[in-house]
Every structure is written in C-alpha cells, then in structure tokens.
C-alpha cells in the first residue's frame, strides 16, 4: 500500500504537468524553432521587407493548419492515429524555399546569431535552427556524425581540423571574427577593475570564473592573459572553470564567482550589461581568438548551408558582429 501510494504520486507527477506545459505551445517544437528570433528582435527593421511578407507568413500558418484541434497529451500506446502528423510537420515546413539549415554556434555568438538568423530568414525565407554550446563539444559531435550543416567555432583550429579530417568541405573555412575578452564584475562589487588584472588579487575575490582552458578558446585566452599579467600563479587556486564561456559568465553573473573573464560579446549582452561592469583586457596579453566557420561535409542541405555562409560574409553581417563586440579580421573585410 505504501508503495502504491508512492507510485500514484510519481505517476501524478509525471502526467499532470505535461498538458499544462504543452498547452501554450501545442504545435510541438516547430514554432519555437522557426519564430523566436523574430519575436526576440523587435529592433530589426521591417519596412523594406513587405514584399517578403507572404514568404514569412507561410511557416506560421502552416503550423496552424496542421495543428490538431484536440491536441491532448497521449502516451505512445494511447495515441489516436491522428496524433502522429504532429511529430512530422516540422519537416513539411522545411520543404519551403531552401529548407532548414541547422547551425552549431559557439556560446559567445548566442545573441548576435539570433539577429543574423532573423535577418537571413527574412531575406531568404529559409529556416535556420541554431544550437549554441561549447566549440569543443560541437567538434566531437560533428566528428561523430552530428547532423549540423554549418559550424561556427570560437576557435578556427576546429574547422581546420574538420577539413583536414575530410569532414568539412575543403576550403570552406572562413575567419568571420576575432573574439575579445574582458574582466567582468557585478555592480555590487567594490573591486576597482580599472586596475586591470592586478585587481583580481583583492582578497574579496575568492572565485574567478573562466572557461575551461583545456578545450574552450576563451578559457585559453583568459589563462594566457593571467599568465602574461603575472598574476596566474597567485590566482590559480581561485579559478573555477565553466564548461563554456556562457557558463563562466553565468557563474560570475549569479555572484557565485566574484569576478569572471568573459567574452566581450557576452559582457555586452542584455543579460550581463545591466548587472555589471567590465574592463577590456589588452589584446597584447593573449593570442587573438580567431573564430572560424565551416561547411560540414555530411550536411543534407549543402545549398542552404552555402547560402548562409555567403550571408555571413556580407558587410551587413560584419557590421552586426562588430556591434556585438567582435573585432573584424583584416581579410574578412570585403
């Protein structure tokens, strides 16, 4: 009896929240994969795109047409026959102009990529799905057959490695930006960061968040900067390592680490901008964080991927990258 009641609670816990979680978004994952960038970027100018309006509205209405009227939650065994199309319609949407392009992007690109993708979708009618995470993770995923079409790495060595391994289209690696790092503290910190990395010696700073130098390019740059500023040995016991640069930023943003060395692009992001202040680490203290993008060879949508890659090379995108805190590589300028 004891266990039957426990089982009841467990089952209730499993079943109950599901319909209420689903109901605001009954059409499954597709809308969030297609539309969020438009929603999140109201700043994007709309005026010149009126002629594109029909193309844009296609996915939205397709979603509604395919939506089941009675969209109840069901277990695999209890699904009515009609419930299945719901699982397949994202690919139906994907058949429009140039299909769906799946992009793997380094975590420092999160914000700028939203805007790039929104612009790209508007001007081409393509659908882009973006996964953000650590470049090293994406590298090993792609090496093991992950279905990405384009890979934006925070370290250009990874695309080059993929090319060398025959896993990326030869000659497609393109240096799209150079990352910068900053020292970041929360607004409530008393530390005077204008003193630079020396300021980290302050005893009130018990933990310093950086990305993992073992596989994250921003972590490597942070480590180099600390070493070149001759504070690394004194501070190395205070370092906590984020799995990628976003996690390092989150450690600092949540106050669990009193300071962090993060990407400038993240320090400028809305999540961090209001909450803290930063100091640009001089670029002579670390090797440039060259960021490369590459076309994955196993891509099922070579055409779309190439289109997106071409779009990255436009001056429009370059300007956007610059605004979000990336430096432009000399040869990347048109």
Torsion of CA 94, 96, 102, 107, to 10 degrees: -110
Q: Provide, rounded to whole angstroms, the least separation between the CB of residue 218 and other proteins.
A: 14
Residue closer to other proteins (CB basis): 209 or 264: 209
Q: Provide, rounded to whole angstroms, the least separation between the CB of residue 10 and other proteins.
A: 6
CB 234 within 8 A of CB 150: no
Q: Provide, rounded to whole angstroms, the least separation between the CB of residue 223 and other proteins.
A: 13
E strand residue ranges, the chain: 100-106, 127-133, 150-152, 174-179, 181-186, 208-211, 239-242, 259-263, 276-280, 289-295
Residue closer to other proteins (CB basis): 8 or 57: 8
Exposure letters 293-302 (e unless 16+ CB within 10 A, then b): bbbbbebebe
Q: Provide, rounded to whole angstroms, the least separation between the CB of residue 241 and other proteins.
A: 4
Q: Which two tokens stand for residue 303?
A: 């055409």
Residues forming the site for other proteins (CB under 8 A): 2-3, 5-6, 8-10, 13-14, 134, 136-137, 139-140, 161, 206-207, 209, 212, 214-215, 239-243, 250-251, 254-257
Tally of CB atoms within 10 A around 288: 14
Tally of CB atoms within 10 A around 304: 23
Residue closer to other proteins (CB basis): 128 or 142: 142
Q: Which two tokens stand for residue 282?
A: 């001089």
Q: Provide, rounded to whole angstroms, the least separation between the CB of residue 111 and other proteins.
A: 21
Burial class (CB in 10 A: 0-12, 13-18, 19+), 233: exposed
Tally of CB atoms within 10 A around 284: 7
Q: Which phi and psi (to 5°) does residue 170 adopt?
A: -60, 135
Q: Provide, rounded to whole angstroms, the least separation between the CB of residue 118 and other proteins.
A: 28
Q: Say how far apart CA 125 and CA 131 lie, in whole Å.
A: 19
Q: Provide, rounded to whole angstroms, the least separation between the CB of residue 106 and other proteins.
A: 13
Q: Which two tokens stand for residue 29?
A: 């994952």
Residue closer to other proteins (CB basis): 209 or 272: 209
E strand residue ranges, 23-161: 100-106, 127-133, 150-152
Residue closer to other proteins (CB basis): 78 or 187: 187
Q: Provide, rounded to whole angstroms, the least separation between the CB of residue 191 and other proteins.
A: 15
Q: Which phi and psi (to 5°) does residue 263 adopt?
A: -70, 140
- DSSP 8-state assignment for residue 125: -
Residue closer to other proteins (CB basis): 178 or 239: 239
Residue closer to other proteins (CB basis): 5 or 43: 5
Residue closer to other proteins (CB basis): 54 or 255: 255
């Amino acid at each position: 009896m004891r266990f039957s009641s426990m089982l009841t609670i467990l089952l209730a816990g499993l079943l109950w929240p599901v319909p209420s979680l689903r109901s605001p978004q009954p059409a499954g994952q597709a809308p969030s994969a297609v539309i969020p960038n438009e929603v999140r970027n109201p700043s994007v100018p709309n005026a010149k795109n009126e002629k594109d309006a029909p193309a844009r509205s296609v996915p939205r209405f397709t979603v509604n047409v395919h939506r089941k009227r009675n969209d109840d939650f069901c277990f695999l065994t209890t699904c009515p026959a009609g419930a299945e199309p719901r699982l397949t319609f994202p690919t139906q949407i994907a058949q429009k102009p140039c299909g769906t392009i799946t992009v793997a992007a380094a975590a420092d690109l999160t914000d700028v990529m939203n805007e790039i993708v929104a612009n790209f979708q508007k001007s081409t009618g393509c659908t882009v799905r973006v996964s953000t995470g650590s470049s090293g993770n994406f590298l090993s995923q792609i090496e093991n057959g992950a279905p990405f079409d384009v890979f934006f790495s925070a370290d250009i060595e990874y695309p080059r490695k993929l090319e060398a391994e025959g896993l990326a289209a030869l000659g497609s690696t393109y240096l799209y930006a150079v990352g910068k790092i900053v020292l970041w503290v929360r607004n409530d910190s008393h530390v005077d960061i204008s003193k630079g990395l020396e300021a980290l010696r302050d005893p009130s700073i018990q933990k310093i968040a950086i990305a993992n130098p073992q596989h994250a390019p921003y972590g490597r740059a942070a480590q180099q900067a600390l070493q070149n500023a001759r504070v690394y040995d004194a501070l190395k016991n205070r370092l906590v390592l984020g799995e990628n640069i976003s996690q390092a930023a989150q450690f600092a943003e949540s106050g669990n680490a009193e300071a962090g060395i993060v990407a400038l692009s993240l320090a400028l992001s809305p999540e961090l901008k209001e909450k803290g202040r930063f100091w640009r680490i001089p670029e002579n203290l670390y090797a440039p964080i060259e960021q490369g993008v590459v076309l994955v060879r196993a891509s099922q949508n070579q055409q779309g991927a190439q289109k997106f890659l071409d779009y990255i090379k436009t001056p429009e995108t370059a300007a956007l990258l610059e605004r979000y805190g990336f430096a432009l590589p000399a040869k990347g300028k048109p």
